[in-house]
Amino acid sequence: MKFFSTSIGCVACTLALAAPAQAAGSAAMAAEYGCVNCHGSYPRGESPSLERLAEKMAKYKGDDAGLAQKVTSYRTGKALEHIDAHERISLEAATALLRWLAEGGK
């Protein structure tokens, strides 16, 4: 029984330590969510690179209301411009990634 409770404690510690890393966007998070597949060093089609997105998102640095509106826009898509990957990402992950980009994406 002690082993079981110790295992649960280790899992809880691991989750607690991992949570802050996922709360903040990063290049690793962009890779994990597949953002770099279209927005990486060699952007796919007309997709802007992460660097270009960071330039565009810079105006939302410190603007939580504007950032929230942009997150909603990306996640819901415009008429005839639905991007599955954008629509599937969670609100929390999308917010973290866009905030990371607004802060320079580095």
Distance in angstroms (rounded) separating the CA atoms of residues 18 and 1: 26
Phi/psi for 89 (5° steps) reads -70, 145
**Separation of alpha carbons 66 and 44, rounded Å:** 27
Model's pTM, two decimal places? 0.72
Contact partners, residue 60, CB within 8 Å, separation at least 6:
66, 67, 70, 98, 102
What domains lie within the chain, and their CATH numbers?
A: 24-102 (1.10.760)
- Taking only the tens place, the pLDDT of each residue in 13-66 is 333 334 344 457 899 999 999 999 999 989 999 999 999 999 999 999 999 999
32-41 exposure pattern, b = at least 16 Cβ within 10 A, e = fewer = ebebbebbee
